[in-house]
Amino acid sequence: MVETNQLPGAEHTEVGSYFVANYPPFSLWTQDAVKSDALPALMHRPADVPLGLYLHIPFCRKRCHFCYYRVYTGKNADEVSEYLDMLGREWELYSTQPAVAGRPLRFIYFGGGTPSFLSVRQLRSLVERLSKVAPWTDAEEITFECEPGTLTEPKLRAIRDMGITRLSLGIEHFDDDILELNGRAHRSAEVFRAYQFARSLDFPQVNIDLIAGMLGDSDKKWHAAVEQTIGLSPDSVTIYQMELPYNTTISNDLLEGAGQFHESVADWSTKRRWVQEAFDALEEAGYSVGSAYTAVKDPKKTQFIYRDQLWQGADLAALGVASFGHINGIHMQNLDNWGSYAASVQRGEIPLNRAFRPTDQERLIREFVLQLKLGTIRPAYFRSKYKVDVVARFAGALNSLTNDGYLRAADADQIELTREGLLRVDSLLPRFFLPEHLNLRYT
């Protein structure tokens, strides 16, 4: 959801959410819906939809100044082990629910925080415990997020032995001054060392994350980062445009006028230009742009099953403090406080905090806006699943995008954004929202 100060046309990067991760906005989710909707949803076997598993590993060496996730930087080894035990217990609780019991896992995602913060022993113990509950051997994709400075060759070897198919390196930038200014824990030397280790172990897919518009960035530094990325030749590159959600260090500083971060984040037109220049360079190097954020070297081999399945309504059992899941058509989020999360799991309860039951119309809009981030939509998918002609249903919004130069085609066969539309797609998505969902706080 785009909040009031981030509506299309606003160029300065203000505090507020920009990236659309779900629909309707999270602010509509309630605690009452846990009892009325989420827990009953777990008691029924769902239709034939894929099931994925998300694990939130909330530990980091440092908290980045732009981070708004639930992470911890001061936990000791015993506390980390306690948390991993809670993850195991939570998965065991889910395995008793009819909505999950006996279903194969199609995809698994280790997110954070920093999953690679864990030691080799902790990783092996966690995977062994979780895979005893539900075997992972048939999963099509297992993604593991990494911070380069936490990686050693033995740890990467252990990660590879876990069956990881997609290693995602949170590099963000190669310039050490920018990494320092934005609170990143790693430096460029660790990036190159970790990347070479990863390549030597023959991971099926290695992804590099970049962020356009970090504090202190410039044309020269950004172009150098893109060149260094291409030089490494990763299987895929994910590029985000820097935003300032509430509850980040930078956002709090700006709202309080403290002045710690006197260097502002680049404006949206600059960030879009930098992403465009990165896409141009990647395409020249043989990559294909696959979404508003991704370029892939070989589209036939490189997939994003976690993303694509979720954007088509797959089920997701989400483990860990503050994690987001989706079961039987119900959105749900875990308790977002360490103490309450731990207490709930220890009581033998699935630790849910809030939930939301979307209507059929809201589910349609959710899938439509999320899939529009791919740049191309096939209306036949929605005709088959929802019995709706989306070209007619969203004619007003589609016409407005065409008039503004953001839409190339909208007919029965295909809806396709222009490159300019793709680069600003998150700011365009509210055009498809229901009126009651406009100008709401997203989180």
For residue 429, give the CATH number of its domain: 1.10.10.920
The predicted pLDDT at position 44 comes to 93
Q: In this structure, are residues 216 and 178 in contact, taking their beta carbons and an 8 Å threshold?
A: yes
In a shared domain, residues 369 and 290: no
Together in a domain, 216 and 278: yes
Asked if residue 12 belongs to a domain, the reply is no
Q: Mean pLDDT lowest for which of 36-50, 176-190, 247-261, 392-406?
A: 247-261
On whether both 260 and 403 belong to a single domain, the answer is no
- Cα–Cα distance for residue pair 104/314, rounded to 1 Å: 13
What does the alpha-carbon distance between residue 244 and residue 120 come to, in Å, rounded to a whole number? 34
Residues 258 and 373 in one domain: no
Residue 349 lies in a domain: no
**Is pLDDT at 8 greater than 60 in this prediction?**
no
- Check residue 440 and give its pLDDT: 82
Integer distance in angstroms from the first to the last C-alpha of the chain? 9
C-beta atoms surrounding 359 within 10 Å: 10
Same domain, 278 and 377: no
The pLDDT of residue 251 is 86
Answer yes or no: do 298 and 384 share one domain: no
Residue 165 lies in a domain: yes
How does pLDDT run across 409-436, given as a tens digit for each residue? 999 999 999 999 999 999 999 999 999 9
Q: Give 383: exposed, middle or buried? Use CB within 10 Å, 0-12, 13-18, 19+.
A: middle
- The 10s digit of each residue's pLDDT in 62-81 is 999 888 888 999 899 999 99
pLDDT of 6 higher than 80: no
Assigned domain for 18 exists: no
Is the distance from CB of 79 to CB of 345 less than 8 angstroms? Answer: no
Look at residue 352 and tell me whether its pLDDT is greater than 80: yes
Identify residue 321 by its one-letter amino acid code.
V
Tell me whether the omega of the peptide bond preceding residue 113 falls within 30 degrees of 0, making it cis: yes
Tell me, yes or no, whether 91 lies in a domain.
Answer: yes
Which pLDDT belongs to residue 263? 67
Model confidence over 91-135: pLDDT tens digits? 999 999 999 999 999 999 999 999 999 999 999 999 999 999 988
Which of 272, 293, 310 is the endpoint of a domain?
A: 310
Number of structural domains found in the chain: 2
Q: Tokens representing 246?
A: 């509430």
Treating both helix axes as pointing N-terminal to C-terminal, what angle do 268-284 and 219-232 enclose, rounded to 10 degrees? 30
Task: Tell me whether residue 426 is in a domain.
Answer: yes
Rg (CA), the chain: 21
Q: Does residue 9 have a pLDDT over 60?
A: no
Cα 194 to chain centroid distance, Å, stands at 22
pLDDT (tens digit per residue) in 305-321: 999 999 999 999 999 99
| CA-wise closest residue to 229 among 220, 238, 240, 218 | 238
Percent of the chain exceeding pLDDT 70 equals 97
Provide the pLDDT confidence category of residue 7 given band limits of 50, 70 and 90: very low
Q: How confident is the model at residue 250 (pLDDT cuts 50, 70, 90)?
A: confident
For residue 151, the domain's CATH number is: 3.80.30.20
User: Do 294 and 407 share a domain, yes or no?
Assistant: no
Q: Which two tokens stand for residue 337?
A: 């406080």
**Chain centroid to CA 24: how far?**
17
State which of 310, 329, 346 marks the end of a domain.
Answer: 310
Q: Does 178 share its domain with 264?
A: yes
pLDDT band of residue 330 (cuts 50, 70, 90) is very high
Q: Taking residues 209-217, what's their average pLDDT?
A: 96
100 and 241 part of one domain: yes
What is the pairing mode between strands 205-212 and 288-289?
unpaired
Burial category of 392 from C-beta neighbours within 10 Å (exposed 0-12, middle 13-18, buried 19 and up): exposed
Mean pLDDT of the chain: 94
Position 87 confidence tier, pLDDT thresholds 50, 70, 90:
very high
181 & 33 share domain: yes
Q: Measuring CA to CA, how many Å separate 75 from each of 15, 71, 389?
A: 29, 10, 52
Residue 397: give the domain boundaries: 360-437
Mean pLDDT of 212-241: 97
Distance CA 56, CA 68 (A): 14
Q: Which residues contact 207 (CB under 8 A, 6 or more apart)?
A: 166, 167, 168, 169, 234, 235, 236, 237, 238
Q: What is the mean pLDDT of residues 342-369?
A: 98
Mean pLDDT of 325-337: 97
One domain, residues 295 and 372: no
Q: Is residue 333 part of a domain?
A: no
Last residue of a domain, one of 310, 338, 372: 310
Q: Please say whether the beta carbons of 234 and 294 come within 8 A.
A: no
* Within-domain flag for 77: yes
Three-class SS of the chain: CCCHHHCCCCCCCCEECCCCCCCCCHHHCECHHHHHHHHHHCCCCCCCCCEEEEEEECECCCCCCCCCCCCECCCCHHHHHHHHHHHHHHHHHHCCCCCCCCCCCCEEEEEECCHHHCCHHHHHHHHHHHHHHCCCCCCCEEEEEECHHHCCHHHHHHHHHCCCCEEEEEEECCCHHHHHHCCCCCCHHHHHHHHHHHHHCCCCEEEEEEEECCCCCCHHHHHHHHHHHHHHCCCEEEEEECCECCCCHHHHHHHHCCCCCCCCCCCHHHHHHHHHHHHHHHHHCCCEECCCCEEECCCCCCCCHHHHHHCCCCEEEEECCCCEEEECCEEEEECCCHHHHHHHHHCCCCCEEEEECCCHHHHHHHHHHHHHCCCEECHHHHHHHHCCCHHHHCHHHHHHHHHCCCEEEECCCCEEECHHHHHCHHHHHHHHCCHHHCCCCCC
- For residues 259 and 374, membership in a common domain is answered with no
Q: Span 177-196, mean pLDDT? A: 96
Which amino acid is located at 418 in the chain? T
Q: How much is the average pLDDT of 201-227? A: 97
Mean pLDDT of 251-255: 85
275 residue type, one letter: V
Q: Evaluate if residue 4 carries a pLDDT over 50.
A: no
Distance separating alpha carbons of residues 59 and 405, to the nearest angstrom: 43
The predicted-structure confidence for 122-179, as pLDDT tens digits, reads as follows 999 999 999 999 888 889 999 999 999 999 999 999 999 999 999 999 999 999 999 9
